[in-house]
Amino acid sequence: MSKTQEILRAPHEQIEKIQLEGIKRTAINCYENIPFYKQSFDEAGFDPHSIESFDDVARAPFVEKQDLRDAYPYGMLAVPLKEVKEIHMSSGTTGVATVGAYTKHDIDIWGECFARGILFADGSDEDVVQVAYGYGLFTGGLGAHYGGHWMDATVIPISAGNTERQIRVMRDMGTTILCCTPSYAMHIADTAIEMGLDPARDLHLRAGIHGAEPFSDNFRAELERKLGYKVLDVYGLTETMGPGVANECWEQKGLHIAEDHFYPEIINPETGEVLPDGEWGELVLTTLDREASPVVRYRTRDITRIIPGQCPCGCSHRRIDRIHGRTDDMLIIRGVNVFPSQIEDVMKTFDQVSSWYQIEVDTDHRSLDIVTLKAEVNPGFELDSVAAVERLQKEISATLKTALSVGVRVKLVEPKSIPRSEGKAKRVIDLRKEK
């Protein structure tokens, strides 16, 4: 059994010991080498040398995305620049980019963490791993690439885009594991079907490792049906490493955090208080052995919970639930909090509409929020029949109202009228910000 397989099954007490030591080491390192932490810990009266228990950790101040932005470009480096072997930046989905730096050791750990997802997919050195995440500053491409190498698998570094070639390569090379965003996987699936292929028969896919954005259970089921494989979720973020911070196992009952490299906490985003396992809140992460860009209590803004109890797969590392979305994406529609993924889940119960949607938020003349869900109909559903269109729009709207208690206008649109994405899909258009 490899060292990784061993640690994945180690008793949780052993992992907790690694965590406490790792947190203390990281906090002292940050305090001594990064001026931001020196100031922030001193202001909070927090002495990193005093960490003896997880309760002590909960007294440490948080670090936020804005702090990392303010430190651009090298303000959060904990090692001399010459030890940094690679630099990535967040894709800037929600503003100015943040920097993630890696030493040689950090890159090794990254590969090992992503490879856990491949191991969970029952992968081995016999697999052909097609990396259709974008390569470049975005962490998706190289994270999956290092994971494939760590497994000694055959890696196809095709990157995102050129979808028809992507599919031909997948077929000809016998790709068994596809790594890309879930929205790009859906685009690949639809394109393959349009090319006249039966993906479940003509391709050799066994598993898809899809992450970097939220996707609903229904979206997952549709992908699995179209591509004839199993979809495993992978979570990560540039600020702590990239994809591989947590990987879903074959059970599909949550994502195992790489707990020997990251310490997770769930907090109430309003009060900052640590919540018990099982409760939903914001994920906060501390790196345990990151050299170049360590973080202590980084607020990810991602909403999830720690799933209580043991996973039937036998891995002892705790699981986070599939990410609902980030606090910045949460729509507050007339006082009700909703994530786009919850709207998607309801929408996907209607056969007449496809997986492509966009949510537009605007205000009316009384400054009240109006939310419009634009949903593409499936080919075969005729938009010329006004009565049928109105009926379906009303039905979806009423179902959303019952399920989520929000008023959403539904507008059915032509197939393929919503832009396809090769990376993360743009699900929400907030016109209020443009006013």
Query: Of 93 and 252, which has the nearer Cβ to ligand ADP?
Result: 93
93 binding ligand ADP? (CB under 6 A): yes
- Please select the residue that binds ligand ADP; options are 213, 222, 259, 265, rule is CB under 6 A: 213
**CA–CA separation, 37 and 151 (whole Å):** 36
Structure tokens at 140: 């998706």
Query: Of 251 and 360, which has the nearer Cβ to Zn ion?
Result: 251
Residue 357: name the closest of 410, 280, 303 by CA.
Answer: 410
**CA–CA separation, 348 and 336 (whole Å):** 21
**Segment interacting with ligand ADP, rule: CB under 6 A, options 161-169, 205-213, 256-264, 402-410:** 205-213
**CA–CA separation, 56 and 72 (whole Å):** 29
Site for ligand ADP in 313-332 (CB under 6 A): 323, 326
Helix pair 217-227, 340-347: axis angle to 10 deg = 50
**Segment interacting with ligand ADP, rule: CB under 6 A, options 31-39, 66-74, 84-92, 357-365:** 84-92
Q: How far is the CB of 379 from Zn ion (least distance, A)?
A: 38
Measured in whole angstroms, the distance separating CA 239 from the mean position of its chain's CA atoms is: 13
233 binding ligand ADP? (CB under 6 A): yes
92 binding ligand ADP? (CB under 6 A): yes
91 binding ligand ADP? (CB under 6 A): yes
189 binding ligand ADP? (CB under 6 A): no
Among ligand ADP, Zn ion, none, what binds residue 308 when CB lies within 5 to 8 Å by partner kind? Answer: none
Q: Which residues bind Zn ion (CB under 5 A)?
A: 249, 251, 311, 313, 315
Query: Of 24 and 230, which has the nearer Cβ to ligand ADP?
Result: 230
Count how many Cα atoms sit within 13 Å of the Cα of residue 417 in the half-sphere of its side chain: 14
Q: How far is the CB of 241 from ligand ADP (least distance, A)?
A: 9
**Segment interacting with ligand ADP, rule: CB under 6 A, options 17-25, 183-191, 212-220, 392-400:** 212-220
Structure tokens at 247: 């990987």
Among Zn ion, ligand ADP, none, what binds residue 249 when CB lies within 5 to 8 Å by partner kind? Answer: Zn ion
Residue 78: name the closest of 284, 290, 297 by CA.
Answer: 290
Binding site for ligand ADP (CB under 6 A): 90-94, 138-139, 211-214, 233-238, 300, 302, 323, 326
